[in-house]
A and B are shown apart, each in its own frame.
Chain A
Amino acid sequence: MFPLNNPTQKGRRSERWSEWAIERIILASGLLTIVFILLIFTFLLKDSLPLFKVYPLKAFLTGRDWYPISDPARFGLVPLLAGSLAVTLGSVIIAVPLGVAAAIYLAEVARPSIRESVKPVVEMLAAIPSVVFGFIGLLILAPYIKSLFDLPTGLTALTGSIMLAFMALPTIISISEDAISAVPREYREASLALGATQWQTISRVMVPAALSGITAAVMLGIGRVIGETMTVLMVTGNAALIPHSITQPVRTMTATIAAEMGEAVQYSEHYFALFSIGAVLFVITFAINFTADIVLHRFRRVGR
């Protein structure tokens, strides 16, 4: 809000220089966030590129087999990517309608007393650790899914999707609600003054006006789900196969890293391959978050 201090200004000499130093340190801390994101990407690349000296990039990206400890080892990303996409798609189908409906209810319909009691519940949902979701999914939901669909195992893509949906809900609800609440009240008043019912106002004025914010909320929810690790590791069965139905076990990219890094020899092909998966994950989530932020930023500017 004011420009950096200039040491040639008036004041005691030692004071001027200590002030100058402090302000450089503060500037450096601000820049550090950019440095960190670059560092993360650099280290992911540094420990994944050696794989492609011995294993072709095309075989990694299009290979349909993930057999990291067979001889010769095969590092095909496709089944893991398919696993991540299946689980993510399933959870989006559950969480988006549910989350957006809940956000509409909280922003437009709920009485203040109800809103104030539901919001902490949503915050609680966001606070529950992912390993606890995995635990509940493993012990409560999986046996239920197994008997419901008469499956050999309850650890399936569907089980993962349901648990992950609950982890995406807080993100989708809170950002969508913010977006709907940020729509200028004149919009609502104009619509009601024209004789529209409350529901017509919600569905044809408020939600369309907030749509880009809601889109960003959904994208951030997807970003959260695709990067989630412990829950999918515990409940999706961990079979590195391309799934043909949602009731089959799958293995996601995140779960593969978490499950195999403990056994991979340092700086081995397997180690490099797991870092390559990490780099792919980083690029995917970066693209999602970057786009979502651009959408939100534009939305905020138009909203004013």
Chain B
Amino acid sequence: MRPRGIGEWLAYGLLYLSIVLVTLPVAAVLFILVSRGYSAISWEFLTAMPRMGMRAGGIFPAIMGTLLLVLGTVAIALPLGVMAAIYLSEYAGRGRLNRLIHLAIVNLAGVPSVVYGLFGLGAFVLFLKIGVSLLAGCLTLALMILPVIITASEEALQAVPQSFREASLALGATRWKTIWNVVLPSALPGILTGAILGVGRAAGETAPILFTAAAFFLPRLPKSIFDQVMALPYHLYIIATQVPNIPQNVQYGTALVLVALVLLVNASAIILRSYIRRRRSW
């Protein structure tokens, strides 16, 4: 189907241009980060404590801090999110309550990250007196990624054919046994995809941990869940804006490590998802 007339050629030209304008900057950003940051990457950079006011040494505590934050976040959000998804998919029906819960999820997903930070400060750090800590940060981040996990898990549960449930019930299994032994195992890869996407989101966020968990400079690993932690995104913010005379390749190197981490996590979710689609036998 060929375009007719100069107006249509122009229209298609603009559509092509839009795709170039969307994809080219992504490539440019990745190219800039790699070309200016790779010289900073070394074994020491990844595994050593920062020295000389973060101008030398490594970013090990920031990497570990982010990993710990993400682990704690998923440990809290995954069981809660999956149970909520089971309710929505297996029990709730199509009634008004279901609609209300969905509205709550949509709005939870839309709450600005800095507002989560405020809530974490007001509720966890001060009201519950947990203090600025790994735990308060994990709780705040868990709340933030809950919608991601619920949405993905619900989708995965609903993709399990109804006949699976009927077969199990017909064999005399109870409802919960059916969910536990038949529905959940079939939906597991999809649920994992959602969890991984949540991890990617939690790993990159700065604003929610700003007042709940992040330490400006802490050249050691946290001793308990009530300790503050350094975190990669917050560390990048600090060395880019708050501390003068940080070598540029250290800044770009930190940004590169953060982006590589987040993209790796997301890529594994995408690969897992396409694997499920190919392997799905129903």
A residues near B, CB below 8 A? Answer: 1-5, 11, 15, 19, 22-23, 25-27, 29-34, 36-37, 39-40, 43-44, 46-47, 97-99, 101-102, 104-106, 109-110, 118, 120-125, 127-132, 134-136, 138-140, 166, 169, 173, 197-199, 203, 220, 223-224, 226-230, 233-234, 254, 257-258, 261-262, 266-267, 274-275, 278, 281-282, 285-286, 288-290, 292-293
Contacts and interface: CB of A to CB of B under 8 A. Distances in A.
Given A286-B107, A289-B107, A43 B123 contact: yes
Interface of B: 1, 3-4, 8, 11-12, 14-19, 21-23, 25-27, 29, 32-33, 80, 83-84, 86-93, 100-119, 121-123, 126-127, 143, 146-147, 150, 162, 165, 174-177, 200, 203-207, 210-211, 233-234, 236-237, 240-241, 248, 251, 255, 258-259, 262-263, 266, 270
B176 A138 contact: no
A26 B101 contact: no
Contact of A138 (B91, B203, B241): B241
Contacts of A102: 15, 18-19, 22
B15 A105 contact: yes
Given A5-B174, A46-B122, A258-B210, A230 B22 contact: no
A229 B92 CA distance: 36
B8 A109 contact: no
Contact of B114 (A27, A97, A127, A227): A227
B266 A123 contact: yes
B117 to A, nearest CB: 8
In this complex, which of A1, A5, A33, A118 has the most chain B Cβ atoms within 10 angstroms of its Cβ? A33
Contact of A118 (B19, B86, B100, B203): B19
B175 A131 contact: no
Contacts of A262: 210-211
26 contacts: A3-B91, A23-B91, A29-B87, A32-B84, A40-B115, A40-B116, A46-B122, A47-B118, A98-B21, A101-B14, A105-B16, A105-B19, A121-B27, A123-B266, A127-B266, A128-B29, A130-B206, A134-B240, A135-B240, A136-B33, A199-B3, A199-B4, A228-B112, A229-B113, A230-B207, A257-B118
Contacts, number: 271
B41 to A, nearest CB: 16
A289 to B, nearest CB: 4
Secondary structure class of chain B's binding surface, majority of residues: helix
A131 B100 CA distance: 33
A15 B177 CA distance: 10
Given A128-B29, A197-B1, A230-B206, A254 B8 contact: no
A129 B113 contact: no
A220 B104 CA distance: 15
Given A30-B101, A258-B114, A290-B107, A135 B211 contact: no
B174 A261 contact: no
Contacts of A166: 25
A304 B124 CA distance: 44
Contacts of B106: 289-290, 292-293
A289 B110 contact: yes
B18 to A, nearest CB: 4
A16 B213 CA distance: 43
Contact of A234 (B91, B103, B237, B259): B237
Given A5-B174, A131-B206, 8 more contacts: A30-B88, A40-B116, A40-B143, A121-B23, A128-B204, A229-B113, A254-B114, A289-B110
Contacts of B89: 1
A36 B108 contact: yes
A130 B204 contact: yes
Contacts of A138: 240-241
A123 B26 CA distance: 10
Nearest to B123: A43
B105 to A, nearest CB: 5
A83 B121 CA distance: 25
A287 to B, nearest CB: 10
A285 B111 contact: yes
Contact of B174 (A15, A43, A110): A15
Given A123-B266, A132-B236, A254 B112 contact: yes
A244 B196 CA distance: 44
> Which A-B residue pairs are the 10 nearest by beta carbons?
A227-B112, A129-B204, A30-B87, A289-B110, A101-B18, A29-B83, A229-B207, A229-B114, A105-B15, A278-B118
A109 B83 contact: no
Contacts of B114: 227, 229, 254, 257-258, 278, 281
A31 B101 contact: yes
A234 B210 contact: no
